[in-house]
Amino acid sequence: MKPVHPAPADATQRKAVVPVICYPVETLPRPDLAALQAARAGWVKTGETLVPARDAATFRVPAGHFFRIVSVGGPQVGDLNLWNAADLSERFYSGKTRALHGTHLSTGDRMWSAFPHLRPLATITDDTLDWYGFDAFGGAVHDVIGTRCDPYTHNLLSNGGQYHHCCHSNLTRAFAAATGLPLHQAEGHVHDVLNVFMCTGFTRDTGQYFMKASPVRPGDFIEFFAEVDLLGALSACPGGDCSDEHSSDAAACHPLLVEVYAPLSPPQGWASPVRNGYDRRHGV
């Protein structure tokens, strides 16, 4: 942004107005995190899916079960999509999740679904990178500000380049294989992601989206509780740890592991969240 208009006489006062939080979350339904975490005692691992480097895989998690995304092999970023397994039109809404919880997610935050559902699809119950917080550049991990690397933006920025293993294409192929939908129908179901393990922020001077080498190391994980029956898709980004570039085969890439766990009994007091209560008349 290059200003072309002169600042008004009261510019300083206008800029000094103290901001208010857009969505105060005091009234947001909160998860009983202690009950969710207590339900992990004695849980049984029911399956795992290895997501190959520069590719994606899908997985299913029944409501009331947990899943972990685990770093294996080396620092690697993952792009996560979630759908209600029983209704694929209900999918993760990155933008509203960001508006409610902030730019980066961690334990206690929830992944909200799109309108008209707007309910939690999953709740984060553990995050071994929660120590990172915000660094001196304003960077943090697990963002909901990026979208997913994609071949269209790459085509624009690389003067016509064709690259087929961006997260968008990886997720599209995996979703098509899981649902049997034709490729271009499947593509319409792929949506903005949770950037798992990715370290990102906005530059202070220009407000541009930046990335830097992920602090994730093998053994780190982020853990989720499935609030509804979930279909998930995870892409091991071709950017690897996203320290340099994505949308190419240049970066060192590693697989990611998805583990699914069944608790011995459902968390105390937990019930799968109902759909949003707005009556949808929209003033008509």
* Touching Zn ion, residues 168-207 (CB under 5 A): none
Judged by beta carbon, residue 73 or residue 108, the one nearer Zn ion is 73
Q: Does 237 bind Zn ion (CB under 5 A)?
A: yes
Judged by beta carbon, residue 39 or residue 256, the one nearer Zn ion is 256
* Touching Zn ion, residues 47-106 (CB under 5 A): none
* Binding span for Zn ion by CB under 5 A among 108-116, 143-151, 156-164, 188-196: 143-151
Per the listing, tokens 């085509």 go with 155
Structure tokens at 126: 């553990």
Residue 158 beta carbon to Zn ion: minimum distance, rounded to whole angstroms: 15
Considering only residues 36, 51, 80, 149, which one is a binding residue for Zn ion as defined by CB under 5 A? Answer: 149
Judged by beta carbon, residue 167 or residue 253, the one nearer Zn ion is 167
Q: How many residues bind Zn ion (CB under 5 A)?
A: 3
Considering only residues 61, 114, 167, 176, which one is a binding residue for Zn ion as defined by CB under 5 A? Answer: 167
* Touching Zn ion, residues 263-282 (CB under 5 A): none
* Binding span for Zn ion by CB under 5 A among 43-51, 130-138, 145-153, 176-184: 145-153
Judged by beta carbon, residue 140 or residue 149, the one nearer Zn ion is 149
Judged by beta carbon, residue 167 or residue 222, the one nearer Zn ion is 167
Residue 36 beta carbon to Zn ion: minimum distance, rounded to whole angstroms: 29
User: Could you list the residues that contact Zn ion (CB under 5 A)?
Assistant: 149, 167, 237
